Each structure stands twice: as structure tokens, then as C-alpha cells.
Amino acid sequence: MASDHLVSGAPQISGASGLVSFTLGLTGPCLSLDTACSSQLVTAHLASTALLSDECLNVITAGVGLLGPKFTRAFATSGMLSALGRCNTFDAKADGYCRGEGCATILLSASEMMPARCICAGTRV
């Protein structure tokens, strides 16, 4: 069965960021990035770099981690996931890790008062 996210047989995530930008009426560079677990950190770094190099005045960076059944089954089969369903980091009873879905969005804005720094306009956890 073909996925809605497959074009020419290859997974495509690049359209998602463009669709969000268009829907919100945003202008400027827009990109999708997949670095596995570090995607949000990498996008925050790229956003900060763009601000510090005066490429733009405001940046929205977002990361979404979604779990698909294909990878969850593969990780479970490989013995990577906790059979207890809990992470017990640095504990003798640690038997794997637990995965979770999440989303983080950060708005960064260049500050006229501190041109070499970025200020965080708002966060939600």
C-alpha cells in the first residue's frame, strides 16, 4: 500500500514545512530536516546561526518526533525497548529505553539591544 508521503518510491518530508509556512503566511527560507533524534537541536542551531549572521530578523524553528509502528517493532525485535515500559537510566534494572512522541516550537528574534544574542520570545512544554 502506498503512503501519502511517498513520491517516486522515496519518503518525502520536504513538503510539510512548506505547507505550514504557506498556511501561516510566513515568508523567507523554509526547510525540512531529518537528523533522527537531534533534528530539533539542529534546527535551533541553524535558526540561531541565521539570526547571528543577519540573514533574517525572526525565526520559527519546530521539531516533531512521531513514532511509526514499523520502527517500534524493529526496535522491540532488536531488544532496544524496555520490556518493563520504563526507562531506568543508570540503574541496575535498566533493560532498554522508552520512545515518546513530541513537538517543540521556538520563536527566535534578533535583539537590537544585544545584536550578538538571540532572545527567546516564548516557550511551551
pLDDT single digits (tens) 23-73: 989 888 888 888 877 788 888 888 888 888 888 888 888 888 777 888 888
Per-residue model confidence (pLDDT) at position 52: 81
Average pLDDT across the chain, whole number? 77
* Cα–Cα separations (whole angstroms), residue 118 to 4, 19, 54, 112, 124: 37, 26, 11, 10, 18
* CB-count burial class (<10 Å; 0-12, 13-18, 19+) for 47: buried
pLDDT at 10 over 60: no
Under the banding of pLDDT at 50, 70 and 90, the label for residue 103 is confident
Q: Mean pLDDT throughout 92-108?
A: 85
In contact, 61 and 47? CB cutoff 8 Å: yes
